[in-house]
Amino acid sequence: MTPIYLNLLELGKNKIKRILVTHTHPDHSPGAKVLADKLKIPMMGRLVAKDDSRQDRTFKPDQVLNHGDIIKTDEYTIEVIHTPGHASNHLCYLIAEEETMLTGDHIMNGSTVVIAHPDGSMRQYLDSLTLLKNYKFNRIGPGHGDFLGDPFAVVDWIIAHRLERESKVVEKLQLISPCNSNTLVKEVYDDVDERLHPIALWSLEAHLTKLLEDKVAVFDSDQQAWSLN
Ligand SMILES: [Zn+2]
């Protein structure tokens, strides 16, 4: 067992009663299973998306959680919020007493969240960000990075940043379409290190899919080319 597990076991000795899983990407749920088995406690979360190869297929929640579920103990009240976008089965958890939103990979500190189509959806991601603004909390506990204060400013910034990128996709399509996504990624992400373009391509395709749904863009499957409608 690695030091991080040993630390968690030590810190949580006789205290950890259940594990709330945010989603089933391979850097999240497999670790929960190790702890759950060791402590003989239940894992709670949502089922693995069937048609996504990037998921931890071994994950089997002892209890399936749904949007609006409340987990109440003597110590805390946690509300379950379904936030599809990064992953279709993604959940955020609001600890009411702490006014803290645990956001998993929905909001990270220090890196941009990858939206990989088809399980990831840019439209759902933006809707799920807006959804968070209906809740009362004053800090974000992300799945990667330290706590974030001023949560509503963070949410607004992410939405604005994504919409700005979407505008850039439209702007570049105006200039160079018809073109395929490999050509487009170099233009739309010209401010990002080229080594990250393979990952940016996932987000670009999520943007393009949203633009297709919005009837702003069209896709020619014979030519594998995108252009504006
Ligand atoms: Zn993830």
DSSP string over 93-131: EEETTTTEEEEETTS-SSSPPP--TTTS-HHHHHHHHHH
Q: Is 142 left (phi over 0), alpha (psi -120 to 50) or beta?
A: beta
Distance, CA 28 to ligand 1 centroid (Å)?
Answer: 7
pLDDT in tens, 117-154: 889 999 999 999 999 999 999 999 999 999 999 999 99
Contacts of 9 (CB under 8 A, 6+ apart): 1, 35, 38, 39
Are 117 and 104 spatial neighbours (Cβ–Cβ below 8 Å)? no
Distance (angstroms) between ligand 1 centre and the Cα of 110 equals 14
68-125 pLDDT, tens digit each: 999 999 999 999 999 999 999 999 999 999 999 999 999 999 888 999 888 999 999 9
CA of 120 to the centre of ligand 1 (A): 10
CA–centroid distance, residue 111 to ligand 1 (Å): 12
Centre of ligand 1 from the C-alpha of residue 180, in Å:
26
The two beta strands, 139-142 and 100-104, are parallel
Q: What are residue 176's phi and psi, to 5 degrees? A: -125, 0
Q: Please say if the pLDDT value at position 1 is more than 80.
A: no
Its CATH class, for the domain covering 3-149, is alpha beta
Confidence check: pLDDT of 195 > 90: yes
How far apart are the CA of 118 and the centre of ligand 1, in A?
14
pLDDT at 120: 93
Q: Domain coordinates of the chain in residue numbers? A: 3-149, 164-228
**What is the 25 CA–ligand 1 centroid distance (Å)?**
5
The fold of 164-228 is: Arc Repressor Mutant, subunit A (1.10.10)
Lowest mean pLDDT among 26-40, 97-111, 182-196: 26-40
Q: Find the 104 Cα to ligand 1 centroid distance in Å.
A: 8
Between the CA of 174 and the centroid of ligand 1 the distance, in Å, is 32
pLDDT at residue 9 in the model = 86
| CB atoms near residue 136 (< 10 Å) | 8
Is the pLDDT reported for residue 32 higher than 80?
Answer: yes
> How remote is the CA of residue 229 from the centroid of ligand 1, in Å?
32
Q: How far apart are CA 185 and CA 46, in angstroms?
A: 33
**Residue 43 φ/ψ, nearest 5 degrees:** -105, 135
